[in-house]
Amino acid sequence: MTGYSRQVEQLVGEMTLPEKLGQMTMLAASLVVTGPPGPDNPVTLVQEGRVGGLLNTWGHDEIREAQRVALTQTRLKIPLYFGVDVLHGHRTIFPIPLAEACAFDRDLWRRTARLSADEASRDGIQMTFAPMLDVCRDPRWGRISECPGEDGFVNAEYARAKVRGFQNDHEDKKRRLMGVAKHFVAYGAVQAGRDYAQVDVSERALAEIYLPPFKAAVEEGVCGIMPSFTDLAGVAMSAHRALLHDLLRVKWGFNGVIISDYNAIAELMLHGVAADLAEAASLALKAGIDIDMMAGAYENGLPLALERGLVSMDEIDACVRRVLHMKEQMGLFEDPYRGLETQSPGPDVMPQHRAAARDAARRSLVLIKNRGELLPLPRSIKHIAAIGPLADRQSELMGPWCMAGDERETVGFLQGLREVFAESEIIHAKGAKVEGEIEPQLVAQAVAAANASDVVMLCLGEERQHCGEAASRTRPEPFECQLDLARAILATGKPVILVLATSRPWILPDWLVEGSQSILLAMFGGTEAGRATADVIAGDYNPSARLAISWPFNAGQIPAYYNMRSTGRPHDPNNGFSTSFIDAPVAPRFMLGDGLSYTRFELGSLQADPLVIDESSTLHLSIDVQNTGGRAGEATLFLFIHDPVAQVTRPSLELKDFAKADLNPGQSKTIRFALSADQLSYPGLDLKPRLDDGRIDIIVGTSAHGRDQKRVSVEVKRKS
Ligand code: BGC
């Protein structure tokens, strides 16, 4: 008994070896967007039963045609499945994950995944290569834009929300997407942020930081896992049996499919751990990879590996069963054209999708500076200059992986401003290209526009091509020509609202931060980025997002993040022999949790109950938060712990929970948190969870800074 259906067993029994290997193969169709070029004619491959699923194709005609061939022209008539990187939207594009993480809003994360699933499923897609859960502290890495930031706990909460939204939220099964959590594991720690480079992190870092998001995804029932391209301490992840098989499958009980990354199995030869395709394929199979994406390694390598006795037919059959079972779960045997009865709606057809995108973008936008309360701007303002190479470049605001996104449906900053400040005169000047030589006449036009205005919205940033895969930068900072423009605009003396449309934290010069009166970290906000930004500028939305990623002062500070471990010489500005730089601060410029609101929130004292706990206790915490300013707004509260004495060094702060509270002026609410003893434990010397007797500090604040944090200490007294 294998636990699979009769249909699965019957098919496996009837299949030839090439047909089995076909089911274990995923190929890119015509719309290939990454990696080496796809096969010339996927249709022939489908006819010959040499492919089980296609990636990067969608739409009624494309999917129907490929499926028709599979159902009518192959021997066993097994339907194909279709997978796409639906990371932050399908047709309607939501903010990039690094921006959406800043909302610290589980409901939002879930909602946008659900809407993405709705749209993608109507385009014939059943699988998304998401969520991407690569905790990253290195803005040099282009793919930082795809991840939910620097903290393992935030990544884990994001994982749960996204898996629910993609896979479970729709009553109607055909509207669901199967998630593939990626890239397992620690891809975000590539050396020097150089994409595809080596990874060498400790077992402790894996246990504390990099594995928990994947564990959370598996606990939520994620259907697939994709190993990363990289190695981990010398073991290529596509061949990592200890992590893929022993940990993921056996210890965590993951019973979904493991899908290789693009061409990754063949790349085992380039990693230098396989002499030929047969060895590469057998390493991947033995490690636990069920599906070979684009390497042709299973199709061409496994027959030889069988001959050489490197693998067995049973091992191959186990993968085929998992793939066929997945197709059953997708409902493809019942309805191979599932989802295709109506067209994918998209923002222009579905006003509620647009509204959701605008809401998501507003909730993701971080107001990091607002000197003299320049913002929000009054509607009565007469002249606003919209300046900068990103002011009118809506296509860039869709960010990476905006597969079916359409720039014509996307609203840029200029358009958003024009609509929201309909009574004001908006003067537009590009001022500079995104990158390249400075063009004096463009700068002169921009300076003239600034001089003719009451306030300047200066939109600096990147293009889509500067971020995502294979877009690492040693200098994650504004391009020179943009800095020249900014200098000229600041020199006009007009108040400047700096809007940064970036995919990653940027290293900002001090003069730019100091000279700008307000700074909005808009990042890439998607389809409604422009309107959302204008909503915040006008005060129609009171900003509530907080950074999920720290912004370093300079590249030499990388990695800079909030939860550094204690050292024997903790940083002390008055002691030269404490951990410091002599030329830069230790803390990043902006830290996790930073972000402003147009109102003020005050915290009451933090209460804990009980004050003495043991290993079976649940600790209840409560704190009052009051809106003491003049506008309604949403407070974001962070709950950290600090364990002052443990077997191993602990971070000065560890995030354990977060919550939001919507408050009218004067209103206060009591926010409650509950922590299990488990959540207070840490991986001990042997990496097993450990809780020691003694004090643990609980800290609640509106950021990771000390300013308004409230503390309480509890005593652990174990029973055993
Ligand atoms: C990326 C994956 C992606 C795959 C399919 C690869 O290059 O690393 O994240 O899912 O392509 O598009």
Would you place residue 707 in the very low, low, confident or very high pLDDT band (cuts 50, 70, 90)? confident
Token digits for 484? 């020249």
Note the pLDDT of residue 42: 67
Note the pLDDT of residue 704: 87
Would you place residue 624 in the very low, low, confident or very high pLDDT band (cuts 50, 70, 90)? very high
Token digits for 186? 């620690």
Position in ligand 1 atom list of the atom nearest CA 182: 9
Q: Does the beta carbon of 153 lie inside 6 Å of ligand 1?
A: no
Q: Does the beta carbon of 262 lie inside 6 Å of ligand 1?
A: yes
Exposed, middle or buried by CB within 10 Å (0-12, 13-18, 19+), for 670? exposed
Token digits for 568? 């024997």
Note the pLDDT of residue 31: 38
Give 497-516 pLDDT, tens digit per residue.
999 999 999 999 999 999 99
Residue labelled with tokens 């793919």: 143
Q: Does the beta carbon of 19 lie inside 6 Å of ligand 1?
A: no
Give 65-106 pLDDT, tens digit per residue.
999 999 999 999 999 999 999 999 999 999 999 999 999 999
Cα 633 to the chain's mean position, in Å?
Answer: 26
Q: Which residues contact 77 (CB under 8 A, 6 or more apart)?
A: 70, 71
What are the residue ranges of helices labelled H in 554-671? none
CA distances from 391 to 22, 247, 367, 499, 517 (A): 48, 48, 18, 9, 18
In whole angstroms, give the CA distance from residue 594 to residue 630: 21
**Protein residue whose Cα sits closest to atom 11 of ligand 1:** 262
CB 680 within 8 A of CB 716: yes
- Measure 650 CA to ligand 1 centroid, in angstroms: 35
Q: Does the beta carbon of 578 lie inside 6 Å of ligand 1?
A: no
Note the pLDDT of residue 35: 44
In whole angstroms, give the CA distance from residue 30 to residue 535: 39
Helices (H) and strands (E) in the chain, counts: 21, 27
Give 437-467 pLDDT, tens digit per residue.
999 999 999 999 999 999 999 999 999 999 9
CB atoms within 10 A of CB 530: 30
Note the pLDDT of residue 30: 59
In whole angstroms, give the CA distance from residue 472 to residue 474: 7
CA distances from 57 to 28, 83, 125, 403, 529 (A): 8, 8, 8, 9, 26
- The mean pLDDT of 340-352, rounded to a whole number, is 83
Q: Does the beta carbon of 187 lie inside 6 Å of ligand 1?
A: no
Residues of the chain above pLDDT 90, percent: 92
In whole angstroms, give the CA distance from residue 505 to residue 217: 26
Give 311-326 pLDDT, tens digit per residue.
999 999 999 999 999 9
Comparing 146 with 36, which gets the higher pLDDT?
A: 146
Q: Is the pLDDT of residue 547 over 70?
A: yes
Give 252-267 pLDDT, tens digit per residue.
999 999 999 999 999 9
Token digits for 87? 């990371």
- The mean pLDDT of 190-205, rounded to a whole number, is 98
What are the E-state strand segments in 434-514? 455-461, 496-501
Q: Does the beta carbon of 143 lie inside 6 Å of ligand 1?
A: no
- Measure 120 CA to ligand 1 centroid, in angstroms: 17
CA distances from 579 to 205, 564, 567, 572, 654 (A): 21, 11, 8, 8, 20
Would you place residue 37 in the very low, low, confident or very high pLDDT band (cuts 50, 70, 90)? very low
CB 678 within 8 A of CB 689: yes
Q: Is the pLDDT of residue 596 over 60?
A: yes
Mutate to test the pocket of ligand 1, among 143, 184, 195, 262 (most ligand atoms within 8 A of CB): 262
Average pLDDT of the chain to the nearest whole number:
96
Comparing 29-33, 92-96, 540-544, the range with the smallest average pLDDT is 29-33
Would you place residue 169 in the very low, low, confident or very high pLDDT band (cuts 50, 70, 90)? confident
In whole angstroms, give the CA distance from residue 529 to residue 430: 18
DSSP code for 33: -
Note the pLDDT of residue 40: 55
**Protein residue whose Cα sits closest to atom 10 of ligand 1:** 129
Closest CA relative to residue 307, chosen from 336, 279, 329, 286: 279
**Stated pTM of the model:** 0.97
Q: Does the beta carbon of 182 lie inside 6 Å of ligand 1?
A: yes
DSSP-derived 3-state class of residue 289: coil
- Measure 63 CA to ligand 1 centroid, in angstroms: 20
Q: Radius of gyration over alpha carbons of the chain, in Å?
A: 26
CB 188 within 8 A of CB 166: no
Would you place residue 341 in the very low, low, confident or very high pLDDT band (cuts 50, 70, 90)? confident
Position in ligand 1 atom list of the atom nearest CA 84: 12
Position in ligand 1 atom list of the atom nearest CA 56: 12
- Measure 34 CA to ligand 1 centroid, in angstroms: 7
Residues annotated as catalytic (active site), given as ranges: 261
Mutate to test the pocket of ligand 1, among 85, 88, 177, 467 (most ligand atoms within 8 A of CB): 85
Residue labelled with tokens 């042709």: 296
